[in-house]
């Protein structure tokens, strides 16, 4: 039994696709790239949080690597992309975000992406989580997700947690200029965020609770 088959068996209520399946094409593409240096550098330098998940827009070990510069020239179309990291422990969808640029992700571990489309946001600005789809991203695989793709932190496959490289145009996910007027959904620079209505910690902090329906949760396989 493959690892993906194990994940599917542990989550019979979810239709979990691979990023290599045709269903992923409306959200992004698999990038033909040797990511072994990124995976190695992260595993050698990351420290897992005690609980929850963490994110940094720039992860120093990979940001200064030769591969980071190479990917800026190639997959990122000579744009100035920062290479950060999202890692830790997560099972739930929690929220959805989007950017005005495409995003590159590398699985440092196997993980699950929960994705949607901006075009499926309701006219009143709310979003039905039933429109989301689930994708298995294996360790070492790079994907490019398009700017109109809704996403958030990935879900772990194993109790050991998850780790994923995040490539975005430089400045994305950094703090907004203080005292400036902005869209209520603009949470950080180039990051529009809406929480699931059940996520009171986020909504109390000012993130609009516009996602309704199931707050999807992924079961791990050990």
Residue 165 has pLDDT above 90, yes or no: yes
- Predicted confidence at residue 1, as pLDDT, reads 80
* CATH number of the CATH domain containing 130: 2.60.120.10
Mean residue pLDDT of the chain comes to: 97
Strand extents, DSSP E, the chain: 16-18, 28-31, 53-56, 81-88, 95-98, 103-107, 111-117, 127-128, 133-137, 142-145, 149-150, 155-156, 162-169, 186-188, 191-196, 209-212
Q: Does residue 221 fall inside a structural domain? A: no
Q: In the structure, what pLDDT confidence band is assigned to residue 182 with cuts at 50, 70 and 90?
A: confident
Q: In the structure, what pLDDT confidence band is assigned to residue 218 with cuts at 50, 70 and 90?
A: very high
Q: Does residue 45 fall inside a structural domain? A: yes
Quote the percentage of the chain above a pLDDT of 70. 100
Question: Do 71 and 105 form a contact (C-beta atoms < 8 A)?
Answer: no
Q: What is the pLDDT of residues 105-127, one digit of tens each?
A: 999 999 999 999 999 999 999 99
Residue 169 has pLDDT above 90, yes or no: yes
- Predicted confidence at residue 19, as pLDDT, reads 98
Quote the percentage of the chain above a pLDDT of 90. 96
Residue 197 has pLDDT above 90, yes or no: yes
Mean pLDDT of the 85-107 span: 98
- What SS3 class is residue 16? strand
| Number of separate domains in the chain | 1
Residue 180 has pLDDT above 90, yes or no: no
Q: Does residue 83 fall inside a structural domain? A: yes
**What pTM was computed for the model?**
0.97
Q: Does residue 44 fall inside a structural domain? A: yes
**Residues of the domain holding 14:** 3-173+184-212
109 contacts: CB under 8 Å, gap ≥ 6: 139, 156, 157, 158, 160, 161, 162, 163, 164
Q: Does residue 114 fall inside a structural domain? A: yes
Mean pLDDT of the 14-19 span: 98
CA distance 13 to 134: 11
Q: Does residue 70 fall inside a structural domain? A: yes
CA distance 160 to 108: 12
Q: Does residue 153 fall inside a structural domain? A: yes
Residue 222 has pLDDT above 90, yes or no: no
Residue 195 structure tokens: 């929480």
- Predicted confidence at residue 91, as pLDDT, reads 97
- Predicted confidence at residue 173, as pLDDT, reads 98
Q: Does residue 220 fall inside a structural domain? A: no
């Amino acid at each position: 039994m493959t690892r993906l088959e194990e994940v599917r068996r542990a989550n019979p209520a979810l239709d979990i696709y691979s990023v290599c399946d045709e269903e992923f094409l409306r959200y992004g593409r698999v990038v033909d790239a040797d990511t072994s240096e990124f995976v190695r550098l992260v595993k050698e330098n990351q420290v897992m949080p005690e609980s929850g998940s963490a994110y940094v827009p720039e992860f120093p070990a990979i940001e200064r690597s030769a591969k980071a510069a190479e990917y800026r020239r190639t997959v990122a179309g000579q744009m100035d992309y920062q290479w950060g990291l999202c890692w830790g422990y997560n099972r739930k969808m929690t929220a959805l975000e989007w950017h005005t640029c495409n995003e590159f992700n590398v699985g440092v571990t196997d993980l699950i992406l929960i994705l949607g489309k901006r075009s499926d946001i309701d006219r009143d600005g709310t979003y039905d989580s039933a429109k989301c789809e689930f994708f298995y991203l294996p360790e070492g695989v790079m994907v490019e997700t398009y700017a109109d793709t809704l996403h958030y932190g990935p879900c772990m496959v194993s109790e050991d947690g998850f780790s994923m490289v995040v490539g975005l145009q430089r400045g994305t996910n950094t703090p907004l200029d203080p005292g400036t007027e902005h869209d209520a959904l603009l949470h950080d620079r180039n990051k529009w965020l809406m929480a699931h209505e059940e996520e009171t910690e986020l909504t109390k902090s000012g993130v609009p609770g516009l996602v309704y329906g199931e707050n999807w949760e992924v079961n791990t396989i050990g």
